[in-house]
Structure 1
Amino acid sequence: MRTNTAPETRTEQVIHAIRERIERRTLTPGARLPSVRAMAETIGFSKSTVVEAYDRLAADGTIRSRPGSGFYVASPLAPLALDRMGAAVEREVDPLWMLRQSLADDRTRLMPGCGWLPEDWLAGDAIRKGLRAAARDGRDGALTGYASLQGSPPLRALLARRLAGQGVDAAPEQILLTDSSTHALDLVCRFLLEPGDTVLVDDPCYFNFLALLRAHRVTVVGVTMTSTGPDLGAFAAALADHRPRLYLTNSAAHNPTGATLAAATAHKLLKLADAHDLVIIEDDIFADFEHAIAPRLAAFDGLNRVIRIGSFSKSLSAAVRCGHIAARPDWIEALADLRIATSMAGNPLSANLLHGVLTDGSFRRHIEAVRTRLSRAMARTVKRLRAVGVEPWIEPTSGIFLWARLADGIDAVTLARAALAEGIMLAPGNVFSISGSWSDFMRFNVAMSDDERLFEFLATACRKAR
């Protein structure tokens, strides 16, 4: 990293540009650099400037010369820096910025832009009870051993029963436990994707989908989201134009919009997926917050080309790291092998703790209470946002998110920066958008939006815009 503030010489500019391309994986070890003449013509500098830059890069081992052939990248790749893999315009307020703000150590901030429930809404007492039970578990390896190949059989059997309640027919053998839903998604991407493949996402979509897909070096194409699911015309056009390998989505309590997939949309979407041999990953992490079971792609499809992932980090505890994948048996077998190769076996303590909490009658009561609180918080937040000039896109029937349009003339990124200076963490629309077309929207977590300071800040911003 450059630490001085003096202007770069032309030679330094060439060196910096080449090193940046190596860091961003545009140039990899063994790749041939443009000839001196070609580089000089491209950047508009003299050939002597390029020669000096190449000589200095060769001297420090970054590139090497092959007489009669040219210059080639020689140095090993630097550690992957995700925030350098997007266009320069994305590096300030982008999905990684959002993740850093969400996970910052500053616990004094208001967090209406975060993606989880307040601490006092979670099942702390049930977890403490479960931990005491786990500590008394006398089975061999319960506290010290590795998990079995696919993870705890009792928990997988319980998850199969819970999936059946959503209309998803999955045997325990079709379920693989993971460290989290993000880990589940990463495993599926490792299994099915190659760099350069195309993946469809909703526009807008969960911002970490974009960050994780960037790490897998794939092309991401957005499909406009509607109140009943992806726009089917745009979806069909994207399939024809881009021939994607995967489609990644939330079906119920969509993040960030709060929309719910309609049954008619689901049927048409699956017909399109079948015609184009498209695999669908359905992230169902907010299922516990539904009052009524919404349509599921995995239920209609029977886990043929749909892979269902989830966890309980939002409804139970982010500290109990245990997610899962439900998929075809042959894919589960291959994913289990991949899991062993990349992270060994799972966490039996987390799995046993999760099973104990889920089978305790107090968890059901806890979730029912959370749903009631969320419904009240949703109605209250809708009313208060409208009062200050912020209009919800829809009024969700469940979940924690409200997607809302700011008053005319207000840019969400600019507002988020101003809010951060006031100790308020907001979630600007374009961090959720591959197209950058939601610049005047914000995602609000209704469980975190019951503070007068938030609405005073928004009211002031709207008055200034008017």
Structure 2
Amino acid sequence: MTAIRTRIAARGLGPGDRLPSIRALAASMAVSPSTVVEAYDRLVAEGVIRARRGAGFHVATAEPAPFRVAAAEPSRDRAVDPFWVSRQSLDTEASASKPGCGWLPADWMPVGALRRALRGLARGADALLTDYGGTRGSPALRRLLAGRFAEEGLAIGPDQILLTGSGTQAIDLVCRFLLRPGDTVLIDDPGYFNFRALLEAHRVGVVGLPYGPAGPDPAAFEAIVASARPRLYITNSALHNPTGATIAPATAHRLLNLATAHGVTIVEDDIFADFEPDPSPRYAALDGLDRVVRIGSFSKTLSASVRCGYVAARPDWIEGLVDLQVATAFGGPSPVATDLVAAVLAGGGYRKHLDEVRRRLSGARRATAQRLGRLGLVPALMPRGGFYLWCRLPDGLDSAAIARLALAEGHVLAPGNVFSVSNSAAAFLRFNVTQCGAPDLDAVLARAMRAAARSGEPV
């Protein structure tokens, strides 16, 4: 029933369309024909479909309601809703305190290099400021990316790289290309909350994979792929969001072997790679982009305002993704954005910028962990890089209750269950160590924790 409703909601089946025969649907879903008969009978009773004598079952002709992403699954407490957290982080005034957001403050970014690159572009050809970009995006930037990949052992040419409007658009294109409504996708639990939000829009099933200090649980991965038969596994391998964990080499090899054996494509979001002091294992490099797709962007290290992402994949998939991007965006990303990124990356200052950011982050992680520790907020692990601390609350407090109370005092937090498909992370908060500078943050957290304890909201 869910599979049929999903196809109708996603416009895979329209009013009056004939549904698969009972035997065909039973075979495709590996269930008995009697199960399909019962499902169709229930959908008829609900008015979703109609039975036509001698002509099978058809979608009811009533006009379907407009699709709403937020209604794609049962209503959740808005304090632990990925859309709620994203809206608060993006729409709150720039001066507001955002310990739960996912980006660096402006004074951590290479603003001087961006201004110099902008002045250089302003003196360039008029076409750069007026014309569409090529379908694959800036050749200069793709060559630079290919060179960076070669340093980690991934030898590909620029033609295997597609530039996109953002990292999120890169994942969206891959999902459009590889998924159909009703498919199943595996994501980490806990894992990046916008993966969940995006997959809701694609009307696919989502299954959580337990994720720990050494990465995903291989035994759980093997059991899930055998039972749920997911088409994709979407993950961060370097400096995992939200935990900050780094995948162990043995875990990476085992998961890649299991994914290959079960026909699962791994989509590797490598957006935090430049924050690592030393490179950790990458699925893409181990696999050579056979059943792995690498995506990323520059919003964390360069600018969230200059939107530019990329996809690296096997050549035939890149061809399909190029056509899909033309169909949905008429060409690649803005030439101004891609040439700006290329100009900054080509300059010697970018590597110095990263060295300085890594140095500052190391100090900020230690200092923030000490501050939070005095409040009883203890990191589950101390990451080797990046700007996240995944902290456990004391005394079984509920992070959603604390987030609501802190928001009332002007602080945006990221409660644990935003990141958890199974809603098993209510005892955690994710902190961005670069966004914890508000002088009253400690006092607000202490008050919120005391108030949550008095309210008695269970985890």
| TM-score range relative to shorter protein | 0.7 to 0.9
Match of 1:322 in 2: 308
Identity %: 54
TM-score normalised by structure 1 residue count: 0.85
Q: 1:3 matched to which residue of 2?
A: none
The DSSP-based 3-state class of the residue aligned with 1:177 is strand
Further displaced range: 144-153 or 288-297: 144-153
| 1:217 is the counterpart of 2:203 | yes
Q: How far apart are 1:290 and its partner, in Å?
A: 1.1
Letter in 2 for 1:117: L
SS at match of 1:89: coil
Deviations 1:381-430 (A, max 9, x none): 11111111111110001011110111123111111111110100000001
Q: Name the CA distance, whole Å, in 2 between partners of 1:434 and 1:30.
A: 35
Partner residue, 2:156: 170
1:97 counterpart residue number: 84
Structure 1 counterpart of 2:149, which letter? L
The partner residue of 1:436 within 394, 415, 423 is 423
Q: What CA deviation, in whole Å up to 9, does each residue of 1:13-41 have, x standing for no partner?
A: xxxxxxxx997989963489xxxxx99xx
Match of 1:356 in 2: 343
Aligned match of 1:205: 191
Aligned to 1:16: none
> In the alignment, which residue of structure 2 is the partner of 1:391?
378
Cα distance in 1 for partners of 2:233, 2:359 equals 32
**Counterpart amino acid of residue 272 in structure 1:** L
Corresponding residue to 1:132 among 108, 116, 119: 119
- Following the alignment from structure 2 to structure 1, what is the Cα–Cα distance between the partners of residues 407 and 10? 29
Asked if 1:417 is matched to 2:404, the reply is yes
From 239, 242, 253, give the equivalent of 1:267.
Answer: 253
> Equivalent residues in 2 for 1:270-349 (5 A)?
270-346=256-332, 347-349=334-336
CA distance in 1, matches of 2:81, 2:430: 14
Deviation at 1:88, TM superposition (A): 2.1
Q: Which has the greater radius of gyration?
A: 1
* Residue-by-residue CA offset, 1:349-389 (whole Å, 9 max, x unaligned): 11111111111122222111111111111001111111111
Using a 3 Å threshold, how does the CA distance of structure 1 residues 66 and 261 change in structure 2: closer, same or farther?
Answer: closer
Match of 1:182 among 131, 144, 168: 168
State the match for 1:84 in structure 2: 71
SS in structure 2 opposite 1:280? strand
Amino acid at match of 2:237: S
Higher mean C-alpha displacement, 404-413 vs 201-210: 404-413
Q: CA deviation at 1:463?
A: 4.4
Measure the CA separation in 1 of the matches of 2:262 and 2:49.
43
From the superposition, tell whether residues 90 and 212 of structure 1 become closer, same or farther in structure 2 (CA, over 3 Å): farther
Choose which of 361, 364, 388 in structure 2 pairs with 1:374: 361
Structure 2, unaligned stretches of length 5 or more?
A: 1-6, 19-40, 455-459
Distance in 2 between the 1:431 and 1:221 partners?
A: 15
The answer to whether the 8 Å contact 2:391/2:429 transfers is yes
> How much has 1:89 moved relative to structure 2?
3.1
Give, in whole Å, the separation in 2 of the partners of 1:457 and 1:25. Answer: 46
RMSD (CA atoms): 3.0
Superposed, 1:21-40 pairs within 5 Å as 29-30=15-16
Task: Output the amino acid matched with 1:208.
Answer: N
- 2:402 & 2:12 partners in 1: Cα distance? 34
Trace 1:39-78 onto structure 2 (pairs within 5 A). 73-78=60-65
Task: Summarize deviations over 1:113-151 as a string: whole Å, max 9, x none.
Answer: 00000111111111111111011113x722222222211
Counterpart of 1:213 in structure 2: which amino acid?
Answer: L
The residue type equivalent to 1:390 in the other structure is: L
Mapped partners of 1:77, 1:168: distance in 2: 46
Instruction: Number of aligned residue pairs: give it.
Output: 426
Aligned residue type for 1:424: H
Question: C-alpha separation between the residues in 2 aligned to 1:225 and 1:397?
Answer: 17
The residue type equivalent to 2:414 in the other structure is A
Cα distance, 1:67–1:192 mapped onto 2, change above 3 Å? closer
Seen in structure 2, the aligned counterparts of structure 1 residues 433 and 28 have a Cα distance that, compared at 3 Å, is farther
Question: What is the alpha-carbon distance in structure 2 between the residues aligned to residue 71 and residue 264 of structure 1?
Answer: 50
1:151 aligns with 2:115: no
Per-residue CA deviations over 1:27-72 (Å, capped at 9, x if unaligned) read: 963489xxxxx99xx89xxxxxxxxxx9xxxxxxx99999999997
What SS does the corresponding residue of 2:267 show, helix, strand or coil? strand
Paired with 1:157 and 1:163, the residues of 2 have a C-alpha distance of 10
Q: Deviations over 1:302-337 (max 9, x none)?
A: 111110000101110011111100111111111111
Distance 2:58 2:153 in 1: 59
Q: In 2 relative to 1, CA 73–461 (structure 1 residues): closer, same or farther, beyond 3 Å?
A: same
* 2:10–2:181 contact (8 Å) kept in structure 1: no
d(CA) in 2 for partners of 1:28 and 1:329?
34
Q: Is the 8 A contact 1:24 1:84 kept in 2?
A: no
User: 124, 128, 131: which one pairs with 1:142?
Assistant: 128
Asked if the contact 1:289–1:371 (Cα under 8 Å) also holds between the matched residues in 2, the reply is yes
1:112 aligned residue (92, 99, 105): 99
- Aligned residue for 2:22? none
Aligned to 1:46: none
TM-score by length of 2: 0.86
CA offsets per residue over residues 215-246 of structure 1, 9 Å max, x none? 11111110100111101111110011111110
